[in-house]
Amino acid sequence: MATMHYTWGASAAQAKAYGFNLVDLQYASSVNALPEGSKALIWLGESNGVTQSFIDKVTPLLNNPKVFGFFLADEPDPTGRYHTQVSAANLKAESDWIHSHFPGAKTFITLMDMGSFTDSNYSNTYNPANTGIDYYGINPYPVRTTAVDFNYIDRAVAAALEAGIPQSAIVPVYQAFGGGGWTTNTGGSYVMPT
């Protein structure tokens, strides 16, 4: 995955002009219109297992050569404390279904850090052994109103490794935003890195 550069929120042509070649898309018509050299990471937002909704979203894209893979869920919650609880078994069922119906397609989630700004923790969440997912995005956003700590990135990587995610499956997610209504786990807000 080292040669792929992912973005969302832009048209495929805009993304390509800025050097991105992996684009967030949902529909076959958009995937088929991708410029040469670009691929799609299909946003599913599914975490209930292989439901009819899941099958209906994935089936039109099966074996499309412009599809890199499927983004199953953004920070699924293994505890149910912050959002609806998502089981590793449901994610495994989805990942296994995709792998069996679309050989070569990759599966991806971003992980919710269950620890703190000073002590990242991904244990008892999701990893290749319990989900079969190919890639795991970690997003230790280090720029906050209460602190700027780039060592947070190293702590998050170490925590992911400790949780059973090999380095080859870790995908960095960069902080490219600030402000808004998001509250950090330190009680502040995120600040746009400059």
Look up tokens 């209504």; give the residue.
Answer: 181
Q: Are 92 and 128 in contact (CB under 8 A)?
A: no
> Phi/psi of residue 189, each to 5°?
-135, 170
The pLDDT assigned to 75 comes to 95
Looking at residue 176, its pLDDT comes to 61
Nearest of 185, 178, 154, 183 to residue 167 by alpha carbon? 154
pLDDT (0 to 100) of residue 8: 78
Integer Cα distance of 22 and 40 in angstroms: 5
Q: How far is CA 165 from CA 22, 126, 127, 132, 157, in A?
A: 22, 8, 5, 11, 9
Q: In the numeric block, which tokens belong to residue 84?
A: 């609806």
Assessment of whether the complete model's pTM goes beyond 0.95? no
Q: Would you state the pLDDT for residue 179?
A: 61
Instruction: Write down the H helix ranges in 18-163.
Output: 28-32, 52-58, 88-101, 128-131, 151-162
Cβ–Cβ < 8 Å for 108, 41: yes
Q: Which CATH superfamily is domain 6-172 in?
A: Glycosidases (3.20.20.80)
- Confidence (pLDDT) at 177: 57
Q: Which two tokens stand for residue 40?
A: 């799609």
Full pLDDT tens readout for the chain, 194 residues = 458 888 777 788 888 888 889 999 989 999 999 999 999 999 999 999 999 999 999 999 999 999 999 999 999 999 999 999 999 999 999 999 999 999 999 999 999 999 988 899 999 999 999 999 999 999 887 877 777 888 989 999 999 999 999 999 999 887 665 566 767 666 776 666 65
